[in-house]
Structure formats: C-alpha cells, structure tokens
Structure 1
Amino acid sequence: MPRRGGKRPLRPGEKALWQKVTDTVTPRPGAILPITDLSEEPKPAPSMSPRKRRAPPLPIALPKKTTPPEELPPAYEAGDPRQARHVARGRVEIDAELDLHGLTQEQARTRLDHFIEFASLRGNRVVLVITGKGHLGESRYDPFEEAPRGILRQRFLEWVERTPLRDRISSVRPSHQRHGGRGAFYVFLKTRKPARRL
C-alpha cells in the first residue's frame, strides 16, 4: 500500500548514489536547483578534541638527608677527671710496657696491635707505650726503613684512632715525666665484659 504524504525520504545509500549522479549533470540555464531535504537535522560537526592537558610533573623524590654519624673525640682526649689527676701526678699503675724505639713503621704498627690485643685479653687496665719524643723532619721516609725521629709518635696517635685498636682503647694520654713525658703514652684499655655462660 503506497504511503500517504508524498515521496518517502531517501535512504543514506540512495542519497550518496544520487549525489554522484547529480555531480555529473550540468543544469540547464534557468533551471531550479532541487531544494535540500530539511527534514533531517544536520549532524553536528565533530567537535575538535581539546588538547590533552599535560599532567603536572611528578614531584622529584629528593634523597633524605642523613645525619652524619657523630664524630667521636680522639682517644687521647678522652678519659675521666680522676684519670687526668692521676696522670698529672704520675700516680698511674702500669700493667705492661712497650718500647717502639728503633722499629720501622711497619714493625711498630704490628708490634703495637699485638701488644694491645694481648694486654686486653690479660685484663690489663693501663699500659705504657714508648714512642720517643723526636723531631719530624720534612724529608720523605720509607715505612720499611727505620722510622725517622718523631714519626712513630705521630703515627701512634693515628693508629690508636683506627680499628682494631680503637675498639680496645678507652683513652690515651701523654705520660708523666717520670714515665717518659712527651716520649711515651699511657694507654687506658676498656674493661672486657666476661663471656656469658651458656
């Protein structure tokens, strides 16, 4: 049954085909161009996608500031006041003594390490290390030759600040004149904790 109301609207495929046909036809002079079918709403033009906003940059994780370990004072500046008074008066009971005179730096370091280790194992509290006063010149020296005057005194103060000696020493002080003065040092050893029984 034919539809009322005139012609049916063209389907999309038919419109495309008709458009191709009309594109190839030249209209006659004075001919009326067909009116576009206004029944269909024009499709909205595709909206331009807005530019994607750049995500804000992620915060850079800065490394946490680490508090540097507290530097311990040199061993030869440590000790309690009573200890200092005993040293000043020369009233220090010496458990053992080590003389480094005439040794090379290498020999002196090895001898000192063993001496402090054994003194600590024996439970000694105070030992005397004789380095000699001397005078350190500016000439170069060989650690395997006999140390020049004064170098062992300087090196001794460096050695006691390093492991394993530092772990066994509580303090170091220049000795009283009666025990050598500036040419020797009292080495106060840490008290060893008794081994725990199983």
Structure 2
Amino acid sequence: MTQDFSPDDDLDLFRQAVQGAKRLKHDRAEVGKAPRDRASIAASRQRATLKDNSVVVDGLSDQFVIDVDPEQELAWAANGVQDAQLRKLKQAQIPFDGSIDLHGMTIERARELLWAFLAEAVKQEIRCVRVTHGKARRLDGRKPMMKSHVNTWLRQHDKVLAFTSCIPRHGGTGSVYVLLRRNMLEGRDD
C-alpha cells in the first residue's frame, strides 16, 4: 500500500516540524571565540596611530642622524682605542660572542632591542658582538634608515669602544662588529 503525498502535505509537515523555531539574526556560526569588541579595537587602532611623545631615557638620540650609503663601510673608535685594536676588529680577529638582526623592525623597536642587547652583552662581560642592520638599497635614492641610525646610536653608547663593518661572510657592509667596554670583575685573571 502506497500513500501518495502532495507537495502541500510536505509543506504542512515542514511547518509542523519547525513550529516554535525562531529565525536566526545572523548567518555566522559560533566558533567558541568571544565576539570582538569593535569599540576597543577602534580605540587601540587610534592609539597606535598617535606618536608617543614620552621621553625614552636610554642615551640614544635621534636628534642628529648621520646618513650613510648602502655600501659604505662603517668604522669608528672612541678616544683611547688603539689603531691596532680597530684593525683586528675590522679583520674579524676578535671573535664575536653574540649577534642581533634588526632587519624589518621599526626604528623605535630596533632601538629598544639594541639597547637591551648591548646591556645584556655588557652584563655578561662579552667583548665583541655583531649587529646586523642591513643595507636597504632604496629605489627612491634615499639613504638606508636602519644603517644610519645604528651608526649614530653606537657612537653614543657609553659601553661601545669601537665598531667596524664586517667581513663579507659575516654580513659585509650590512653588519658591524661592535667592541664593548668590559667592567673587570673582582678576582678575574685576564
């Protein structure tokens, strides 16, 4: 025995099945995440666009930045550093015991990390480190910002005795060896 159902019967059955159901107000599935607060997101974006005018007392100034060319070799030594010491540094005869890469960072972030890196190196009595700043060859002809800032900052840091561009296998003119002043610890033989 077969029963013949008409399309009207199917519609009546469907209406009975969904009776009391409420229509969804949105068509997105709940995935367990808390809904985003659009007001707080907009506020944080607004704060991010504002320049932070707070003074960072780290001793590294951006008031005067020495512009350098992408392929320019960097070399600087504080008063009292012997030429022979600078020559050894330039020829990679003083091994570096730490390295930091500042590629792709903002100037502010690079400054913070460089300051912290140098402070940690001095704390650990490291004599030489490598700082990779890149060359930033620019199509618009402007000077490389990160390289210019690193060149300026290292001259200002009181624990930096000298720095010079690296040999090619260590980064060439995109990196510098940095000779650090060490605080002689009591009981140290060398």
Calculate the TM-score normalised by the size of structure 1: 0.50
CA displacement at 1:90 relative to structure 2 = 3.0
Match of 1:157 among 151, 154, 159: 151
Where does residue 47 of structure 2 map in the other structure?
none
Question: Aligned letter for 1:181?
Answer: G
Structure 2 counterparts to residues 174-193 of structure 1, below 5 A: 174-193=165-184
Q: Which residue of 1 aligns with 2:85?
A: 83
Equivalent of residue 117 in structure 2, options 115, 118, 128:
115
- Give 3-state SS (helix, strand or coil) of 2:163's partner: strand
Report matched runs for 1:1-198 at 5 Å: 76-78=75-77, 79-135=81-137, 150-162=144-156, 166-194=157-185
What is the CA distance between 1:195 and its match in structure 2?
Answer: 6.2
Determine the C-alpha separation between the residues in 2 that align with 1:137 and 1:195. 53
Q: Residue 177 and residue 191 in structure 1: after superposition, are their counterparts in 2 closer, same or farther (change >3 A)? A: same
1:28-77: CA deviation from partner (whole Å, max 9, x where unpaired):
xxxxxxxxxxxxxxxxxxxxxxxxxxxxxxxxxxxxxxxxxxxxxx9942
Q: Helix, strand or coil: the match of 2:112? A: helix
Q: CA deviation at 1:181?
A: 0.8
Of 102-111 and 170-179, more deviation after overlay is shown by: 170-179
Q: Secondary structure at the match of 2:110?
A: helix
Query: Quick one: percent identity of the two aligned structures?
Result: 28
C-alpha RMSD of matched pairs (Å)? 2.8
Give the secondary structure class of the aligned counterpart of 2:177.
strand
Structure with greater Cα Rg:
1
3-state SS, counterpart of residue 150 of structure 2: helix
Residue type at the aligned position of 1:194: L
Q: Do the aligned partners of 1:136 and 1:151 also contact (CA within 8 Å) in 2?
A: no
* Conserved? CA contact 2:76–2:155, under 8 Å: no
Gaps (5+ residues) in structure 2? 1-65, 67-73
- Partners of 1:150 and 1:178 in 2: CA distance: 21
Q: What's 1:70 paired with?
A: none
What is the alpha-carbon distance in structure 1 between the residues aligned to residue 107 and residue 163 of structure 2?
19
Quote how far apart the aligned CAs of 1:135 are.
2.8
